[in-house]
Amino acid sequence: MLTFSFKNSQISASQIKRYGTVLAGYVATLQDVMKQRSYDCYESSILLSGNRQEIKEIQNHAKQFISSALRYVIVIGIGGSNLGAKAIYDALLGSTDTISIQRFPKLICLDTCDVHTAQTVMQTLQQEIVSSDQYIINVISKSGSTAETVANTAYFFQMGAQKLPEFEKRVVITTDEDSVLWKMSKEKGYTSLAIPKKVGGRYSAFSSVGLFPLACLGIDIAQVCKGAQWALRQGISDRIEKNPSAQSAIALVSQYTKRNVIHDTFFFAPALETLGKWYRQLFAESLGKVPLGKKNTKAIGITPTVSIGSTDLHSMAQLYLANPTSRFTTFVSIAKTIDTPRLNGSEWTALVPGLQGQTLHGLMKTIYQGVVNTYTAKKMPFVQIDMKECSAFTLGAFMQMKMLEVMYCAHVLGVNAFDQPHVEIYKKEVRKLLK
């Protein structure tokens, strides 16, 4: 479960009412999408977490690859094609991967083309893998033609095909059913997983894109989806004051109109950093564009940033507090974590008054409260999201809540949340150079 507090968001009841009226039609559209149950519009990503048959099929596919021997799930994909799975994996397991070196299976993501990473991964596989059940290569690309993904895949096939056991049997391709990659995958007989046509990359975390690798990694994807369903029930409610996604969108948009052009999501949990990056991509790629039908207007320019508590208090807090303008903050905290012993009786606790008897998590909570008090005193606008715990359920809920929030922001700002026309500009340039 998540709990929300909007009391410091500085939105008035009249703003909620005004924006609520703007959103009413769109809420009805989303409710309709839920009723129609067909994947023929861009919002249909909201159907994914309730599609039990599809979830079962993904689990069944994963079962064919899972065994106690599995060590590495290698995802080759970028942006919306890897960030959702990585966000959940890192939050639950991955953030301590470099310390828990003997915990398997591990997720390895190859997104950009980095020769050191690609080579190290390949060398590690060649040294460690002795049987085919120890690894999976999941290539994920909706378009099937993203340069970095195709190049990393080509590298893997070139370097691994001969050297890794039963390489081709361990390849899973996730893509659009009518992409060239899909055709190729089918011809070669690789396991092929489809992405519903209208579900865009950054909204695809609850499709085979996010759920298949997570299931292979032993994460309870049914719980991820249950969490998403929980967020959906509230997030498509026409009672705006009971709809956290809509309220959060209203807060963001009204702060933007007050020139608060930076949206900082401040996670008081280091394991949620990748979740922050997932949200940053969702937000920037969905909203950073020129409003529809207003060609000569400037693009919407709310810049999403990610801060980590308490680390970034020792890095960014000086700036945030000295110049509190232009910024709107969403704090994200986790209420309950694993129990650690209370700090007791040693001469170390005496160095910081009040530390005696605290737990590590208790100290973090106190620091967080201190920051909240400071923001309040300085009248800096913020909302608070508190996760009951860091679990598959709460992560699914957070992601669905945010996907709806972004759709609502797009509706109010008059932009298309589902395209990315300006990304094409540099891609075209790269294609030209490659030729």
Contact footprint for ligand PA5 (CB under 6 A): 78-81, 141-143, 146, 149, 200-202, 285, 420
Quick one: 10 or 146, whose CB is closer to ligand PA5? Answer: 146
Evaluate whether 407 touches 23 at the Cβ level (below 8 Å).
no
Judged by CB, which is closer to ligand PA5: 105, or 200? 200
Work out whether strand 382-389 and strand 2-5 pair parallel, antiparallel, or are unpaired: antiparallel
Instruction: State the nearest-atom distance from the C-beta of 288 to ligand PA5, in Å.
Output: 12
CB of 33 to ligand PA5, least distance (A): 19
Tell me whether residue 180 or residue 350 sits nearer to ligand PA5 (CB atom).
Answer: 180
> Based on CB atoms, which residue is closest to ligand PA5, 182 or 368?
182
CB atoms within 10 A of CB 286: 24
Residue with Cβ nearer ligand PA5 (81 or 330): 81
The nearest distance, CB 143 to ligand PA5, in angstroms, is: 3
Q: Which two tokens stand for residue 141?
A: 């690309």
C-beta closer to ligand PA5: residue 95 or 281: 281
Please state the closest distance from residue 151 (CB atom) to ligand PA5, in A. 12
Continuous segment of H or E residues that includes residue 266: strand 262-267
d(CA 284, CA 406): 10
Q: Which is nearer to ligand PA5, 210 or 309 (CB)?
A: 210
Task: Please report how close the Cβ of residue 102 comes to ligand PA5 at its closest, in angstroms.
Answer: 33
Structure tokens that stand for 400 in this block: 């669905």
For the bound state, the minimum distance from the C-beta of residue 418 to ligand PA5, rounded and expressed in Å, comes to 8
Whether residue 235 contacts residue 400, with contact meaning beta carbons closer than 8 Å, is answered with: yes
Helix (H) or strand (E) holding 212: helix 208-216
CB atoms within 10 A of CB 419: 14
How far is the C-alpha of 374 from the C-alpha of 309, rounded, in Å? 14
Taking the complex as a whole, how short is the minimal distance between the CB of residue 148 and ligand PA5, in angstroms? 8
CB closer to ligand PA5, 61 vs 202: 202
Cβ of residue 115: shortest distance to ligand PA5, in angstroms? 20
CA distances from 139 to 120, 212, 286 (A): 18, 11, 24
Instruction: Give strand pairing partners of 386.
Output: 3, 333
CB-nearer residue toward ligand PA5: 358 or 420: 420
**Taking the CA of residue 187 as centre, how many other CA atoms within 13 Å lie in the half-sphere pointing to its CB?**
6
CB of 122 to ligand PA5, least distance (A): 21
Cross-strand pairs, 192 = 173
With 0-12 CB in 10 A as exposed, 13-18 as middle and 19+ as buried, what is 324? middle
Q: Are 397 and 2 in contact (CB under 8 A)?
A: yes
Can you tell me the distance from the alpha carbon of 91 to that of 207, in angstroms, rounded to the nearest whole number?
19
Provide the 8-state DSSP code for 268: S
Helix (H, G, I), strand (E, B) or coil at 182: helix
415 with 249: CB under 8 angstroms?
Answer: no
User: Least distance to ligand PA5 from the beta carbon of 70, Å?
Assistant: 24
Q: Measured from the CB atom, is 27 or 399 closer to ligand PA5? A: 399
Q: Which amino acid is at 163?
A: K
